Amino acid sequence: MILNGTRINIIKLINDLANLKGNYIKEFQSSACPNAFDPNLQKLSHLLKPGSFKIGSIDIKNPVVSAPLAGISDNTFRIFASAFGSALNCTEMISSFGVHYNNRATDRLSFITEYERPCALQIFGCEPEVMLEAAQRLEDKADIIDVNMGCPVPKVLKAKSGGFLLTDKKRIEKIISRIAPKIKKPLTIKIRLGWDAGSTNAPEIVEIAQSCGAAAVTIHGRTVKQGFGGEADYEIIKNIKKTASIPIIVSGDIDTPLKAKQVLEYTGCDAVMIGRAARGKPWVFFNIACSLNNATGFAPGDLKQTSFNCTGSKINYSSIDDAGKMGQLIDNNDILSMFNFEPSREFKKKFALLYLKFLSEFETEQGAAMQFRKYLAWIFKGVPNISRVKKEFFMVKDYDDVKNLMEKI
């Protein structure tokens, strides 16, 4: 399934990635928080507490996981996410009908390397029998089978899939109860708060999911009709977690270590799912995982849940006594701002070239370069004076073009 490369090439690139990660950690230590860690920080496992929680039999080693992102969450993205600390990855959505009809794209989308595990394989659709067939045919490739029940993209909704399923609780029950007992791997679902503000039925969906055999639920803090507009609301998710018997992962607008800590503390959820914030910046997984284990001596749940109030995604601390226990974590961003680290321009240039090399192992060189154009904008966003070369991001055609472009940045 590796289009251009060999296993030897991949192993070499994995070694290069390990060295790149080491360089990031050195910059992180020297620039962000030089006194925060001991020399063993070079080993990422030193940061992360093993056995944070389980999805079925799968050990999720820290509470920071990677979201499925259409057109982005490919092998390269997942390999980098794992290297920088994501405890669980997920494929892009795969059509259950595409599996049924042996669509050639399915093989590419469902290919998972050993360097990106544990990894969930996400399917979508609306017909229980077809979705069961897809889950059974794909499960040997994955660690977890995930069903998308929250996607707000119009063409998915038109097919009565994704977020449209939230309008049909009986169909959701049929899908989960049909798949869960028939596969060997854990089954999870990804949902939103509901179809719209007038039908926030996520609590009922979670009850159905856990009673039918789902092993975990991820909840995005918006309705389907919201798309990605407005702000994520965590209040309903917090109430769901209080009574849930399976792990709950919270998603939506989580883009900094401080926000991750706030949301975990407020909701009591088992993990945060990071999506758009990681585009071109996989180090966000490292920053957040690192901060959750080192910013304070408190683990999620140590604070009284009643000490927060939440409107949308704005979380306010209301108890002076409890705020003091956290070293003013919520009122003062200084404690966690040091973890919201951006590496140097030189690091980003090396990162960009290595990322493209990985892409080229799974695509043609020209295809990889075309795909990489959008990454250049994400990687170098905010770099001083980048506007003078930004138009060239969308003109690169191969590795040499990108390499020459790096000399101008």
CB contact burial 217-237 (16+ within 10 A = b; e otherwise): bbbbbbbbbbeeeeebbbbbb
User: Which H or E run includes 384?
Assistant: none
The Cα 391–Cα 402 span in angstroms is 13
What is the Cα–Cα distance from 121 to 174, expressed in whole angstroms? 20
Which amino acid would we find at residue 230? G
SS3 state at 124: strand
Active site residue 33: no
Q: Alpha-carbon torsion 396, 372, 340, 406, what sign?
A: negative
CA dist 181 and 210 (Å) reads 12
H or E element: which one contains 118?
Answer: none
Is residue 122 within 8 Å of residue 93, measured between CB atoms? yes
Q: Do the beta carbons of residue 286 and residue 257 sit within 8 Å?
A: no
Cα–Cα distance, 171 to 175 (Å, whole number) = 6
Beta strand 119-124 pairing with 89-90: parallel
* Residue 386 CA, distance from chain mean position: 27
- Dihedral (CA of 75, 76, 78, 82) sign: positive
Residue 159 CA neighbour count, 13 Å, CB half:
17
Cβ atoms of 239 and 203 within 8 Å: the answer is: yes
Which amino acid is present at 132? L
Helices (H), 104-160: 104-110, 128-138, 154-158
| Residue found under tokens 């060239």 | 392
What kind and span of H or E run contains 213? none
Choosing from 151, 269, 290, 310, the catalytic residue is 151
- Give the whole-angstrom CA distance, residue 17 versus residue 359: 13
Side-chain-facing half-sphere of 70: CA atoms under 13 Å:
12
> Which amino acid, residue 205?
I
Which of the residues are catalytic? 151
